[in-house]
Amino acid sequence: MLIRKPSEIPSSLITPRTQYLNRRRFLRGALSGAAVAGAAALGVDRAAELISPRTAALAGTKLPTVKSPLSTTGEELTPYQDITTYNNFYEFGVPKGDPSRNAGVLPTRPWTVKVEGLVNKPKTFDIDTLLKMRPLEDRIYRHRCVEAWSMVIPWVGYSLSELLKQVEPQSKAKYVQFLSYYDKHVEKWSDESNIFWPYSEGLRLDEAMHPLTLLTFGLYGEVLPNQDGAPVRIVVPWKYGFKSAKSIVTIRLVEKQPHTTWNDQGPQEYGFFSNVNPNVDHPRWSQKTERRIGLPLFSQRRQTLMFNGYADQVTSLYNGMDLRKYY
Ligand code: MTE
DSSP 130-164: HHHHS--EEEEEEEE-TTSEEEEEEEEEEEHHHHH
42 residue type, one letter: L
Among 306, 299, 295, 277, residue whose Cα is nearest residue 151: 295
CA of 179 to the centre of ligand 1 (A): 12
CA of 257 to the centre of ligand 1 (A): 20
Pocket of ligand 1 (CB under 6 A): 1, 87-91, 145, 180, 199, 228-229, 241-242, 244-247
CA of 244 to the centre of ligand 1 (A): 6
* CA–CA gap between residue 218 and residue 138 (Å, rounded): 9
CA of 245 to the centre of ligand 1 (A): 6
Closest ligand 1 atom to Cα of 228: 23
Profile the chain (327 residues) by mean pLDDT over runs of 10 residues.
44 34 34 34 33 58 94 91 98 98 97 98 98 97 98 98 98 98 98 96 98 98 97 98 98 98 94 97 96 96 98 97 94
Which of 1, 78, 89 should be mutated for ligand 1, with most atoms under 8 A from CB? Answer: 89
Q: What is the pLDDT of residue 2?
A: 56
- Atom 10 in ligand 1: which residue has the minimum CA distance? 245
CA of 171 to the centre of ligand 1 (A): 30
Q: Decide: helix, strand or coil at residue 275.
A: strand
Sheet strands side by side (includes 123-126):
123-126, 112-117, 248-254, 175-180, 200-204
- Atom 3 in ligand 1: which residue has the minimum CA distance? 246
- Atom 21 in ligand 1: which residue has the minimum CA distance? 87
Closest ligand 1 atom to Cα of 198: 3
* CA–CA gap between residue 199 and residue 248 (Å, rounded): 9
Q: Would you give the DSSP letter of residue 74?
A: S
Closest ligand 1 atom to Cα of 227: 22
Domains with residue ranges and CATH for the chain: 14-54 (no CATH), 59-318 (3.90.420.10)
* CA–CA gap between residue 148 and residue 274 (Å, rounded): 13
Q: Which residues contact 24 (CB under 8 A, 6 or more apart)?
A: 97
Number of C-beta neighbours around residue 95 at 10 A: 17
What's the number of CA atoms in the CB half-sphere (13 Å) around residue 10? 16
Closest ligand 1 atom to Cα of 181: 3
Residue 12: enclosing H or E segment and its boundaries? Answer: helix 11-14
Cα-based distances in Å from 101 to 29, 38, 47, 216, 226:
12, 17, 17, 22, 10
- Atom 23 in ligand 1: which residue has the minimum CA distance? 228
* CA–CA gap between residue 41 and residue 135 (Å, rounded): 46
* CA pseudo-torsion sign 150, 291, 239, 98: positive
- Atom 14 in ligand 1: which residue has the minimum CA distance? 242
Q: What is the pLDDT of residue 52?
A: 40
Residue 206: enclosing H or E segment and its boundaries? Answer: helix 205-208
pLDDT digits (tens, 9 = 90+) for 165-202: 999 999 999 999 999 999 999 999 999 999 999 999 99
> What is 81-132 written as a DSSP string?
HHHTTS---GGG-SSTTHHHHHGGG---SS-EEEEEESBSS-EEEEHHHHHH
Q: Would you give the DSSP letter of residue 199?
A: P
Among 254, 251, 256, 257, residue whose Cα is nearest residue 123: 251
What's the number of CA atoms in the CB half-sphere (13 Å) around residue 281? 5
What's the number of CA atoms in the CB half-sphere (13 Å) around residue 158? 16
Q: Which residues contact 71 (CB under 8 A, 6 or more apart)?
A: 138, 139, 140, 141
CA of 113 to the centre of ligand 1 (A): 18
pLDDT digits (tens, 9 = 90+) for 213-224: 999 999 999 999
* CA–CA gap between residue 164 and residue 116 (Å, rounded): 10
* CA–CA gap between residue 165 and residue 255 (Å, rounded): 17
- Atom 6 in ligand 1: which residue has the minimum CA distance? 89
